A and B are shown apart, each in its own frame.
Chain A
Amino acid sequence: MNNFDKLITKSKKDWDNLNNSEIPIIYLGTASCGRAAGAEKVKETVLSYLKKHKIQAHFIEVGCIGTCYLEPLMDISAFGNPRISFGNVDPKWAERILEKYLLEKDFFKQKVVGHFGEKPFNDLPSFFDLPMIKPQVRIVLKNCGLIDPENINHYIAQDGYMGLKRALELSQNAVIEEITNSGLRGRGGAGFPTGKKWKICREAKGNIKYMICNADEGDPGAFMNRSLLEGDPHAVLEGLLIAAYAIGASEGYIYIRAEYPLAIHRLNIAIEQMKNAGLLGKNILGSNFSFNIKIKEGAGAFVCGEETALIASIEGKRGMPRTRPPFPVISGLHGKPTTINNVETLGTVPHIIRNGSTWYKQYGVEGNYGTKTFSLVGKVKRTGLIEVPLGTSLKKIIYDIGGGTLKPFKAVQTGGPSGGCIPKELLDTTVTYESLTAAGSIMGSGGLIVMDTDTCVVDVARYFLDFIQKESCGKCTPCRVGTRHMVEILEKICDGQGDVEDLNRLESLAKIVKSASLCGLGQTAPNPVLTTLRYFRNEYIEHIVNKYCPALVCRSLIEFYVVPDNCTGCQRCVSVCPTGAITGPRSEVHNLDTTKCIKCRACLEICRFDAIAGNAIIIRSKEAK
């Protein structure tokens, strides 16, 4: 038996031992989203509780399982019972849950999210039957939240690196053929067939070739790549190795944004473990294939997600895109043939090689096979990270998985700054590269930002254009100057200073920027404006003609108001108002001076959340009172 086979045997044995362990196992989701919800404090509490009560237990930090709205999530597996997941666990609850379960073998039902057993357990719901989880197909995210991302043995116990093992037994062309047959398309946005890209790069002339993983994830509001790297880094690394083997690369880079320190940390750990397991360096797993990986941290520029800009950035230059052709697969990093693939694309590859292209093609629809992860955020009830077969309808995603919106639904934004807003009437649109493009948006990397009637689409269009205008690298004029003009017009409209002619000006500017820009950044920048003009023209007209913002967002068009009947005179708002705009003695209806009010929302928030206040402060339109 060689070393790797020994490692497999050991990993499987360790995993079985862990799952049959006599002592309890406590799993805590400490991905960035878990931390944002307070998981670090929960961790301290759990560890000190175990110590104080001298309880022996395994404590394992896991990645994000996707139900971010329930963070922090703590799972306990004990007494031969299935692993049980508890949600919204703050330090106080963590202690109570541990006490009840570990000492009394009982649990607080209201905190249980679900169990992970295969058979029914008590009358607890199965985690996999939850409304948010059931419609999903988890391939890429299969391990996220379930294994320890800092332990390569956990990954190997789930058949990790078996894809690489199989690939190394195949010829390079056979690997490429398997990927081509699977129909896998790039998950970074453009949807270029992955097998085809690899084939061109493999056939390109050059004795040195590079393989790059694009982990720049610059699209604001999207975190699929972060979650995968934090929750299952080895899956991406295995994909990177398979791709490198197929194209004949001996050096690889992971270009990752610096805003993801935990993902970088976990990648570094994973790479060290790979070296120790003989999965990196010379003659990997005894084959002729040798490969090394370097991590390059991005420095905060959206355009560096674009492949030619990314290459310039790795070379130490300003991250400016250049015209293509030549494409990087022919002439990329240092002028050598270079393949660039997105994190999720690479995370999918091992599954295809392990299980075969026919297996993969059972998911999705003709031309759009397999699954896609999405970050479901904004004004939706169940926010988080999901994975669905391509061809799933937006309606199913937002209502069945996301649980709908609090206020009535208005639009869903797909594709980030390059995408568009899709209205209610088009919710039957399925997520495929072609159908989203037909709706005026794009698939993009997978951000889904849900908007309800409290979101102003004109403000959102202004937001995206402002973002692009600031991120434009400045190399070409249509993008640099055109987007600047578009922002100015949109700002005017949001301020209530627009005129109807402005809409035509916006449309003609949009066409110029779209057709004349050098790279994808400028070419797609007008999409948010064009789709909102197409589907929500009335909202623009309301702003321009009636000086009315239907969502009550645009600040020049709204004012804050105390509803006399609801005001309990509790003075909570008086104490938080930074400008002294609200006055009034205790127990009497308060007065809000709109000339002093800076619309900071402090009074609104305190009035809504404070128990003694009466939810008396509202926002109303300045014009249409």
Chain B
Amino acid sequence: MEDLNIKIKEIFRNFSNDPGNLIPILQKVQKELGYISLPAIEEISCFLKLTESEIYGVASFYSQFRFNPRGRHSITVCLGTACHVRGGSILMEAFERDLEIKTGECTLDKRFDLDGVACLGCCALAPVVKIDNDIYGNMSVIKLKETLEPYE
């Protein structure tokens, strides 16, 4: 708790308390702390003088923001059109089955969290999966296990 306060105060130092900074602040909080926690929303509310529901209203509107803790590695499966016609949704199912979680969840051992995305802009190499900052093109169900292996 103390820790969170310090980190958040640190983040606030780079911003003025103009409500227009809400989205960049939420982005920074997510980047530093992994997700938008309830205490974080309380802190932002004090800082920007917005109500907690206003903040939650904005944060929940955008698909980027997470309200649950993340895993050590983040898997993002592209569900865009080019990936869809080359089997993106089947790939997503394979990840869900293999990791025994649903989209938006995190594995019990906190190794992976899983999410879909509308397009990663690598459509020419569809289907595409991103793990942390690494992008994998021309993915397939049978490459799944070996692709995950290096991520401990």
A residues at B contact (CB < 8 Å): 32-33, 35-38, 40, 68-69, 71, 217-223, 226-227, 258-261, 296-302, 313-319, 375-379, 383-385, 413, 416, 447, 449, 451, 455, 460, 463-464, 467, 471, 473, 576, 578, 600-602, 605-606, 609
Contact between chains at B82 and A377 (CB < 8 Å): yes
Across-interface contacts of A413 in B (CB, < 8 A): 81
Size of B's binding interface in residues, CB under 8 A? 50
Q: How far is it, in angstroms, between the C-alpha of A219 and the C-alpha of B64 when the chains are bound?
A: 16
Q: Assuming the A-B contacts A32-B120, A316-B21, A467-B118, are A600 and B125 also in contact, with contact meaning beta carbons closer than 8 angstroms in the complex?
A: no
Q: How far is it, in angstroms, between the C-alpha of A209 and the C-alpha of B118 when the chains are bound?
A: 33
Q: Which residue of B lies closest to A260 (CB)?
A: B121
Q: Is B14 an interface residue (CB 8 A)?
A: no
Interface segment among B3-11, B86-94, B106-114: the answer is: B86-94
Residue-wise, chain B 102-134 has the 8 Å CB interface mask toward A (1 for contact) of 000000000000000111111111101000011
12 sampled A-B residue pairs with Cβ under 8 A: A32-B122, A33-B121, A71-B124, A217-B121, A220-B118, A227-B121, A259-B121, A302-B118, A375-B124, A378-B86, A471-B118, A602-B94
Q: How far is it, in angstroms, between the C-alpha of A316 and the C-alpha of B133 when the chains are bound?
A: 27
Contact between chains at B124 and A33 (CB < 8 Å): yes
Contact between chains at A379 and B85 (CB < 8 Å): yes
Q: How far is it, in angstroms, between the C-alpha of A38 and the C-alpha of B63 when the chains are bound?
A: 28
Across-interface contacts of A299 in B (CB, < 8 A): 23, 26-27, 62-65
Q: Which residue of A lies closest to B57 (CB)?
A: A318
Q: Which residue of A lies closest to B143 (CB)?
A: A605
Q: How far is it, in angstroms, between the C-alpha of A385 and the C-alpha of B23 when the chains are bound?
A: 32
Name A37's contact: one of B58, B62, B121, B125 (CB within 8 Å). Answer: B125
Across-interface contacts of B64 in A (CB, < 8 A): 258, 298-300
Q: How far is it, in angstroms, between the C-alpha of A169 and the C-alpha of B127 when the chains are bound?
A: 48
Q: How far is it, in angstroms, between the C-alpha of A223 and the C-alpha of B135 when the chains are bound?
A: 15
Name B93's contact: one of A35, A316, A600 (CB within 8 Å). Answer: A600
Across-interface contacts of A217 in B (CB, < 8 A): 119, 121
Question: Other CB < 8 Å A-B pairs besides A69-B124, A217-B121, A377-B123, 13 of them?
Answer: A71-B137, A219-B119, A258-B27, A258-B64, A297-B24, A299-B65, A316-B19, A317-B58, A318-B57, A451-B85, A578-B98, A600-B141, A602-B141
Contact between chains at B21 and A447 (CB < 8 Å): no
Q: Is B74 an interface residue (CB 8 A)?
A: no
Contact between chains at B118 and A36 (CB < 8 Å): no
Q: How far is it, in angstroms, between the C-alpha of A600 and the C-alpha of B81 when the chains are bound?
A: 19
Q: Which residue of A lies closest to B138 (CB)?
A: A37
Q: How far is it, in angstroms, between the C-alpha of A581 and the C-alpha of B30 when the chains are bound?
A: 42
Across-interface contacts of A609 in B (CB, < 8 A): 142
Q: Assuming the A-B contacts A221-B82, A413-B81, are A601 and B122 also in contact, with contact meaning beta carbons closer than 8 angstroms in the complex?
A: no
Across-interface contacts of A600 in B (CB, < 8 A): 90, 93-94, 97, 141
Shortest C-beta distance, A87 to chain B (Å), equals 13
Name B23's contact: one of A32, A313, A383 (CB within 8 Å). Answer: A313
Contact between chains at B119 and A259 (CB < 8 Å): yes
Across-interface contacts of A68 in B (CB, < 8 A): 124-125
